[in-house]
Amino acid sequence: MSVLKRIFPFNAVQTVNILSEFGPLVAMFIVNATHGIIAGTWALIIATAVAMVTMKKILGRLPMFPMIASGVTIVFAFMTLVTGDPMWIQIKVTIFNIMFALFLFGGLYYGMNFFQHIFEGTFHYTREGWNRFTFSFAWFCVLTAVLNEFVRLYFEKTTMYPQAGSYFHQLLGFQMDGVNVWILFKIGFIMPLSGIYAWYLTRIMSKHRIPTEGADPTDNP
């Protein structure tokens, strides 16, 4: 395995997925900080649409998970535009992750592994490997949903973030309201955590890989 692959163990699809998830958040952060939540929400919608078009152009298709996540993001973003409340964008993460976790747990309970059904034609792992992957991924969804709600609710109160004129406010150059703190949490904490977790999963699944004909069984997926 090359040094670059060890440092950045994501393929083209995974890289595009990461950028499509967090790129729109960066756009929303910048525009929300300078022009407010309505403009920031429009930036999120437009950047999400651009990310989907770019993904289609680079990959030649729209992967299922980013497509679903992007669609849900746009729906909840329009809810924010209609109500003027950024809560809709924030709770999208909680609702989506909890529902997906329940879906994965339910599949395992009934002996129907979702990831194995979708990806077994491309990735070849043992049944135990697929079950461990799915069980772990479901709990990761629960963890990120809980963390999302904690940050959303904690920084909802005006006393929980630096006010205008404070050192932190002047350091960043704009008001660190609850929405911007939440976006920074997504970019600065959840994104690295997701990357570390993805790397951890590749290490786990390499132990359960079924070598294909002509492949070197010592290679990692």
Q: Is residue 23 part of a domain?
A: yes
Q: What does the block give as tokens for 55?
A: 């993904």
Q: Is residue 214 part of a domain?
A: no
The 10s digit of each residue's pLDDT in 46-56 is 988 888 888 78
Query: pLDDT band at 125, cuts 50/70/90?
Result: confident
Q: What angle do CA 41, 43, 44 make, to 5 degrees?
A: 65
Mean of per-residue pLDDT scores for the chain: 78
> Which pTM does this prediction carry?
0.73
Q: Which domain holds residue 125?
A: 3-206
**Region 21-27 average pLDDT:** 80
pLDDT over 80 at 32, yes or no: no
Q: Which residue has the tokens 């704009």?
A: 174
Among the residue ranges 65-74, 77-86, 167-176, 182-191, the one predicted with the least confidence is 167-176
Number of domains in the chain: 1
- Cα atoms in the Cβ-side hemisphere of radius 13 Å centred on 59: 20
* The pLDDT of residue 101: 94
Q: Is residue 121 part of a domain?
A: yes
Task: Quote the CA–CA distance of 117 and 133 in Å, as a whole number.
Answer: 13
